[in-house]
Amino acid sequence: MKDGKNVTSLDLALACGVSQGTVDRALNDRPGIKPETKRRILEQAEVMGFRLNLSASSLATGRNRLIGLVLFDLENRFFAQMANCVTRSARQAGYHVQLMLTGKDPIEEQYCLDQLAGRRVDGVILCTVQKGEAFVRRLREARIPVVLTGNRIPDETIGQTDPERSIGKDAFPFVGIDDFRAMHDAICEVLARGYRRLVFLAPSLSRAGKGNLYAQEQRLAGARSAFSEFGLPAGSFRLLDRKPSEKLMNACIPGPEPDTVLVCSSDLYALDMLHLFTKRGFQLPRDLGLLGFDNLDILRYVSPRPATVDIPMNDLGDAAVRMLLESIGGRTPESLYLPHAMIPGETLR
Amino acid sequence: MKDGKNVTSLDLALACGVSQGTVDRALNDRPGIKPETKRRILEQAEVMGFRLNLSASSLATGRNRLIGLVLFDLENRFFAQMANCVTRSARQAGYHVQLMLTGKDPIEEQYCLDQLAGRRVDGVILCTVQKGEAFVRRLREARIPVVLTGNRIPDETIGQTDPERSIGKDAFPFVGIDDFRAMHDAICEVLARGYRRLVFLAPSLSRAGKGNLYAQEQRLAGARSAFSEFGLPAGSFRLLDRKPSEKLMNACIPGPEPDTVLVCSSDLYALDMLHLFTKRGFQLPRDLGLLGFDNLDILRYVSPRPATVDIPMNDLGDAAVRMLLESIGGRTPESLYLPHAMIPGETLR
DNA sequence: CTGAAAGCGCTAACAA
DNA sequence: TTGTTAGCGCTTTCAG
- For each of the domains in chain A, give its residue range(s) and CATH number, in order of start: 4-52 (1.10.260.40), 64-176+313-338 (3.40.50.2300), 179-311 (3.40.50.2300)
Look at B142 and A87 and tell me if their CB atoms are within 8 Å: no
Query: At what angle are helices A179-192 and A214-229 packed, to 10 degrees?
Result: 30
Contact B139, B146 (CB under 8 A): yes
Length of chain A as a residue count: 349
Q: How many angstroms separate the Cα of A275 from the Cα of each of A142, A265, B108, B300, B304? A: 45, 16, 39, 8, 12
Look at A143 and B274 and tell me if their CB atoms are within 8 Å: no
From chain B residues 116-135, the ones with a CB under 8 A of any chain A CB are 117-120
Strand partners, A98: A68
Residue B268 has pLDDT above 70, yes or no: yes
- Tell me the pLDDT of chain A averaged across its residues: 91
In Å, what is the separation between the CA of A327 and the C1' of D1?
Answer: 38
Which nucleotide has the shortest C1'-to-CA distance from A20? D3
CA gap A174, B78 in Å, rounded: 30
* Band of residue A1 on the pLDDT scale cut at 50, 70, 90: very low
Residue type, A90: A
Look at A142 and B54 and tell me if their CB atoms are within 8 Å: no
- pTM of the prediction? 0.89
Tell me the per-residue pLDDT of A283-299, one tens digit each, with 9 for 90 and over: 999 999 999 999 998 89
Give the list of residues 6+ apart from residue B253 with CB closer than 8 angstroms, or none: B199, B260, B262, B288
Q: How many angstroms separate the Cα of B248 from the Cα of each of A202, B245, B277? A: 41, 5, 11
Instruction: Give the three-state DSSP class for B334.
Output: coil
Over residues B257-270, the mean pLDDT reads: 93
Give the list of residues 6+ apart from residue A49 with CB closer than 8 angstroms, or none: A7, B141
Upper half-sphere CA count for residue B244 (Cβ side, 13 Å): 16
Residue B214 has pLDDT above 80, yes or no: yes
Cβ within 7 A of any strand C atom: A 5-6, 8-10, 20-21, 24, 27-28, 50-53, 56-57, 59-61; B 17-22, 25, 31-35, 37-38, 56, 59-60, 62
Contact status of A305 with chain B (Cβ, < 8 Å): no
**Chain D positions under 7 Å from a protein CB?**
1-14
CA of A292, closest CA in chain B: separation in Å? 14
CA angle B329, B335, B340 (to 5 degrees): 130
CB-CB neighbors (< 8 A) of A73 in chain B: 84
Residue type, B89: S
Residue type, B235: G
Residue in chain A closest to B141 (alpha carbons) equals A49
CB-CB: which of B119, B274, B278 is closest to A55? B119
Distance, first Cα to last Cα, chain B: 64
* Band of residue A167 on the pLDDT scale cut at 50, 70, 90: low
Which of A324-328, B29-33, B109-113, B160-164 has the lowest average pLDDT? Answer: B160-164
Which nucleotide has the shortest C1'-to-CA distance from A10? C9
Tell me the per-residue pLDDT of B63-114, one tens digit each, with 9 for 90 and over: 889 999 999 999 888 899 899 999 999 999 999 998 899 989 999 999 999 9
CA gap A98, B131 in Å, rounded: 26
